[in-house]
Amino acid sequence: MKPTPTYANKPTSDNPRDVEAWALAEASRRLIDAGRSPVNEEALCAALQLNQRLWTIFQAAMTEEDCGHPPEVRTNIAALSLLVDRETVARLVDLDVSKLETLISINRSVASGLTARPDAPVQGQPAPAPQAARPAMAPQMAPPVSAPDGQPPRQSLRISI
């Protein structure tokens, strides 16, 4: 068994959203560091494997019976996880650091969404009405969109990637 990697910093909060955001940011940082010239293939493989373990945890969480997310959110997070899996395996095979941006961008975008506070007012805008706390890894749902063919409106998932 490999030793647990050491971290340059640690999450400062016990909030699951903050911890998940920190983990994604840390994985991104390691991918960026490993991709710098000269490329250290061992560090790159370790960073890719760390990122894959993190997303495997997210996948497993979506399959738990007590997962509090609605089915459509679970499906979308699982689909995003599969995309990350495919990209990670492809990078482990070719070790092409010029193609790391997809993984880094996904991690950063999801981390940004997790750290966004829906109750924090944007400068120049009034504060929004209080809402129930969203569970960790739950993207916001966009308002229903009416279908032109008379079908009931559908909720679309808004993920900032």
Quick one: how far is CA 56 from the chain centroid?
11
Distance between CA 13 and CA 25 in Å, rounded? 14
Q: pLDDT tens across 112-142, in order?
A: 988 887 655 555 555 444 444 444 554 444 4
If pLDDT is split at 50, 70 and 90, which confidence band does 2 have? Answer: low
Percent helix, strand, coil in the chain (nearest 5)?
55, 5, 45
**E strand spans, 27-113:** none
Reply yes or no on whether the pLDDT at 160 is more than 50: no
d(CA 67, CA 63): 7
Highest mean pLDDT among 14-23, 98-107, 124-133: 98-107
Q: Name the band, by pLDDT with cuts 50, 70 and 90, for residue 81.
A: very high
- List CB contacts of 122: < 8 A, sequence separation 6 or more: none
Residue 133 pLDDT: 41
Q: What is the DSSP letter of 158?
A: E
pLDDT for res 145: 47
Ranked by mean pLDDT, the top range of 15-19, 48-52, 73-77, 109-113 is 48-52
**Structure letter (DSSP) for residue 141:** E
Fold type of domain 16-110: Four Helix Bundle (Hemerythrin (Met), subunit A) (1.20.120)
